[in-house]
Chains A and B, each alone.
Chain A
Amino acid sequence: MNIFSPRTFSTDWEHFVVDRFERCVETRRLLGFAGVLNTELALPIIVDKDSLEFPLGINTSFDQLRERIWRATDRAAELLREYDLHLHPAAAHPVEKLFSGAHVHVGTRLDETAGVRLENSLLEYAPAFAALAANSPVAHGMYLEFKSYRVRHHALGNIRPGMPRDPLTAQRIWGDDLGPKLNITPTFEVRIIDCASSRQLLAELATFTAAFVHSRGYDSDKEPPSPEVYQEYLINRWTAARDGMQATFRRQGKPRPVAEIVDEMLDNCAEELRTLGASRAGLPIITAMVQKRACQADMVIPLAERYPDPYLLASAYGKMLRHWEWFEEFLDGSPPLEPRPMLDDEDILAEHLKLIGEGTHLYKTREAMSFPPPAADAIRTKLAAAGQIAEEFSLERGLTLSRKVG
C-alpha cells in the first residue's frame, strides 16, 4: 500500500529581492511585502533568511501548481516594481553570502515511521535531484568550480547530507537533503533542490519530484542503505554539485550518467505523473535537460566568465533573471554536453587531499565529501600510507594534517 494519500504536493520557492543599489533586501523590510502577498494571494508567503519564500499551497495537479507559480510571481514582481525592487530567483548570489532553495513538499503522509524508512530508501536518489536543479555556479567568493555551491556548502547549514535512520531510535531532525516533515504539514520534504530561475522548470521539477516520491511510497519497508551504498550517495551528492547534469554517478562501483538515472526515474513514475495531471511529454524542459545533460548552472557559466567581478556579474545576472524564459532560450540554443567521467578512488583521494594544506585540522577533511568517521579515517590512512600527508598531534590543537611536497 502506498503511504501517500491523498496525493498532494507543493514547493517553498525562495527568492532574493534586489534593489537598484544592487543590495539584497533584508528581512525587516521584506516582511511587509510578504504580508501583502500573503493576504492578496491567499498563500502562506513568508520571509526566511533575507529571502521572500513562496509556499505555494496544497496542490493536486501540475496545472494547479503552475497557475499558482505564475500568479504569485506575477503579482510579487508587480508589487516589488512599485518600490524599484526585483525578484532575484537564483540559488546563490555572487556578492552576498546567501543561498536559496526550492524545497518540494510531497503529501499527504501521516505515518512518520514509514516516512523515516522512505527517507532511507530515497537517499540514493537525492543527488539526481541536486544535479537536475543545480543553479549556483557562483556564490560569495566562489566561482565556477561547482555547479551548485549551495549543495557543496550545504546552504550554510540549511541543508545537509541525510543519514540512514532507524525509526525505533529516530528523533525529529531538520535540514537533511530529504525526509519526513510532520511538525508543520504532513509531508515528505525534498530540500536538496536549488532555487529555480525558470517558472516552467520549477513547475516541472516539483511535479516530477512529487511523482517520483509518490512512486516510492510502496518502499517504506526497505532496510536502511548499507555503508557502501551510503558512501556512494555522498560521493554522488558531491559529483552532482560539481558537474550538474554532466555528472556520472557511482552505482555499486559502476559508472552511471545522471541523465540516464533521471530518464529512468521519469519512466518509473509515469503512473504517478498521470495522477498529478502530467506526463513525460508534458515536462519538456526536464526532457531537454536530460537529452542535453544541461542544467541552469550551464546557463550562468558563460555570463560569469565574462564578468569576473562579482558586483558586475550580480548586476547583469539579476537583469537576466527578470526574464523567466531565459533558461528555456538557453536550452533551445545550447548543444548537448558530454558526461564527465565518474569519480574513481584516486579522484576521491585527490579531493580530500585538496582540502589539506599545512596544519589543517583532521576534521576539515570531512568537509570534502562528508564521509562518516570510518570512511574518512580510511582516506586519511591511505594518504598517509602514500606519503602524501604528515600528521601531528598536540593536546591544544588536536590532530592536524599537512600535505607533503612532491
Chain B
Amino acid sequence: MEAILGKITGVDAHGGGRFGVSFTPVCLLPERGAVPEWLRDAMLTIEREVPDPREIGQPGDSFILTPEESARWLQPLTVLPEISYGQMPEKLEIRLAWWPVDPPPEVTVRVGQRQVEGVFARRDSIYVAEVETDGLFSPQCKLPAAITVAFSGLAIHSAVLPIDEPFVARLYLPGREIIRLENEWYGIDVVRRAGGAILSWREIGRGIDHFAHPANRIGSELDMAGHRDRLREHWTTRERLVKSVLRRVRTWREAHLSRLRMAGRIDKTLNTRVECSLFDDLPMLLWRREFEAREIPSRKDGDPREPIDSVRSYGVSMRGAWLAERHGDSGSRILCAFADQLVSLRDTEIGRRECCPDWRVEYGWMLVEHPDRRACSLYLFPPQPAPAMIFSTGTMNLILEPEWPMRPARAGDVFELPLAISMGECCGAAPAGAWVGCRTVRSDGIRCAVIARPRDERDGSAIFMLGGERREVALQRRQLPDIGAIAWAVADFAGGGMDDPLEIAVAGIPQRRPA
C-alpha cells in the first residue's frame, strides 16, 4: 500500500506526549513516485503520540505516514454506495475527506451523456454532497454500469453490477483502477500495471480474498500477494514487465465466458498481451500471457549483421504470492508431484529463494495450501515443457515462481504462458493428481464444485459430502487449449450451509486434512 512521505514544516506540542506535525507531501512510498496533483504545495497536519519528540524530527526532516493515515489525502473522494447490485441507487453520498480549497468546487455525477451536479457541504471534518440519481439511467440500461463521480480531475465509479449474473467490468475505485471478472464463484480483480496482474481473488461463497494484503503496511501490493508474470532475459529475472502499464484494454462477454484482453508495448523490442477468461459455470480462470519479440534495431545503418544479432533469449515465469501462515507444523506449503511421489515444500527462513534447476515439475500442476485459513490455489499448465520449481519465503509471504525453459527469439516470434487457475477451500493432492474444491451460496441451496487434474483419464467420480448429504457425481472432462485435459464436477445441495464441513474426494484422491 502507498503512503505519503512529507517534509516537516512545524511541530507543536499538544501535551501528554502528543504532537501536531505540519508537513508538505513530497513523494509516495514505496516507489517514491510523485504525489497526486491535488497534494502539490499542500500543507497538511497530523497528530502523533510519541514518548520522545526526537522520533518525529524537526522542520526540514522527512516524515512518513502510515497507509491508513495517508488515505484521506491520497483517496479524498469516495462515494456511497461504491458498488450496488441489480438496480441503481436512488441517491449517492459523495464524500470528500480533504481538499485544499474551501469550499471545494462542485462535483459532477455522470452516466453516459447525462449528468447532474452536486454541491459539497461541510459535515464534521469532511465535505459531503448528496446527489439524487433520478433521470441518470434509462430503463434499458444494461448492467454492469458505472456512475462516474468526477471532481477537479479526480474520477471514481459507483458501480451497478448485475445480480446472479456473470460480468466483466472496468471500475475506477478510490485509489485504484481494476477490471473485475465475476461469476458465482469468484470476483477477480485484474490490474493494468505490472504488465497485467491479478490483484485480488475473492471467493464469493466464503467472502475471503485469496490474495489478501496485510493491512496498513507500506509496500508493493503485488509483491506481497497476487499473481503476475515475469520475463527472463538473463540469469536473473529482469523486472521490465513490472514497470509496464498495458494501454489497450478490451472486455466482452461471449458464450459462457467473461473475457478480458490487455495489450501493450514493454519497449521497442518487445510487446506483450494477456488474456483472461472466466467460465460462467466453473470456478476456474484461464490466463494466457504472450510476448512478441520485435526487431532489435541496428546500432548504425549498414553495420554488418549475423542472424544472432537479431536474437535474444527469453523465458517466462510466473509469480504467485500469498500471505504465509507460519505456525510450526501447519504453515503454508506448496505441493506437486515428482517422480511418482507427492512432494511438499515449505521453507522456514525468510528471504531464501529455493531453486533446483534439475528438478522439473511434472504432470502440469502445482498446488498452494494454507491449512489454517482453508485456502488452496491450484495452478494448471502444459505438462511439457515442464517448469523448474522455484519458491521462496518473503517477509510475510510465500512465493511460488516456477520458471519455464528459455529459448531464442527473433522478431515476430511469440512465446506464451497459458495457465488455468482455480482456488477454493479444500484440496487433494497425490502422485495421481490434484484437485481444488469450493462452494458458493445460491438461492436454492449450496453449490459445490471441484476442478481436478487426474493423471488417469478414465472415467471417475467426485464424492461430495455436506450437511449429512452425500453426492457422487461423474467427472466431466474438458480439453483446455495448450494446458491439456482437466476434470470437473458440480454438486448442488438443497440442505447444508456455508458453515457445515465440506468433504470431497476426487478420482480416489482424498481431501487433505489440516494438521
Using a CB–CB distance below 8 Å, which chain A residues touch chain B? 20-23, 84, 97, 140-142, 303, 306, 308-312, 315-316, 319-320, 322-323, 354-361, 364, 367, 392, 394, 396-397, 402-403, 405-406
Beta-carbon contact of B54 and A141 below 8 Å: no
A319 to B62, CA, bound (A): 9
Contacts A141-B351, A303-B55; is A402 near B356 (CB within 8 Å)? no
Beta-carbon contact of A21 and B26 below 8 Å: yes
B7, B26, B344: the one contacting A358 at CB < 8 Å is B344
Q: List the A side residues contacting B50 at CB < 8 Å.
A: 306, 316
From 320 to 362 in chain B, residues with beta carbon under 8 angstroms from any chain A beta carbon are 328-331, 333, 338-339, 341, 343-352, 354, 356, 358-359
Q: Would you call B91 an interface residue if the criterion is a C-beta within 8 Å of the partner chain's C-beta atoms?
A: no
A20, A306, A354, A405: the one contacting B62 at CB < 8 Å is A20
A357 to B345, CA, bound (A): 7
A406 to B514, CA, bound (A): 12
Which 6 A-B pairs rank lowest in CB-CB distance, beginning with the nearest?
A141-B395, A357-B346, A358-B344, A316-B55, A359-B345, A358-B346
Q: List the A side residues contacting B339 at CB < 8 Å.
A: 394, 396
Beta-carbon contact of B52 and A320 below 8 Å: yes
A77 to chain B, nearest CB (A): 14
Contacts A320-B55, A359-B346, A360-B348; is A315 near B62 (CB within 8 Å)? yes
B69 to chain A, nearest CB (A): 10
Q: List the A side residues contacting B348 at CB < 8 Å.
A: 354-357, 360
From 1 to 53 in chain B, residues with beta carbon under 8 angstroms from any chain A beta carbon are 3, 5, 7, 26-27, 29-30, 32, 50, 52
17 pairs of residues in contact across A and B, judged by CB atoms under 8 Å: A20-B7, A21-B32, A22-B29, A22-B64, A140-B395, A141-B394, A308-B217, A319-B54, A357-B346, A359-B346, A360-B347, A361-B354, A392-B341, A394-B339, A396-B339, A405-B330, A406-B329
Residue of B nearest to A405 (CB): B515
Interface residues of B, count at CB 8 A: 48
Q: Would you call B281 an interface residue if the criterion is a C-beta within 8 Å of the partner chain's C-beta atoms?
A: no
A94 to chain B, nearest CB (A): 11
Residue of A nearest to B30 (CB): A311
Beta-carbon contact of A320 and B54 below 8 Å: yes
A142 to B395, CA, bound (A): 7
11 extra interchain contacts, Cβ-Cβ under 8 A, other than A309-B66, A396-B359, A406-B329? A20-B7, A22-B62, A141-B395, A309-B218, A311-B3, A316-B50, A355-B349, A360-B346, A364-B349, A397-B338, A402-B344
Looking at A142, A312, A361, which has the most chain B CB atoms within 10 Å of its CB?
Answer: A312
A164 to chain B, nearest CB (A): 27
A20 to B351, CA, bound (A): 27
From 292 to 330 in chain B, residues with beta carbon under 8 angstroms from any chain A beta carbon are 328-330
A309 to B217, CA, bound (A): 6
Q: Would you call B383 an interface residue if the criterion is a C-beta within 8 Å of the partner chain's C-beta atoms?
A: no
Q: List the B side residues contacting A141 at CB < 8 Å.
A: 350-351, 394-395
Q: Would you call B56 an interface residue if the criterion is a C-beta within 8 Å of the partner chain's C-beta atoms?
A: yes
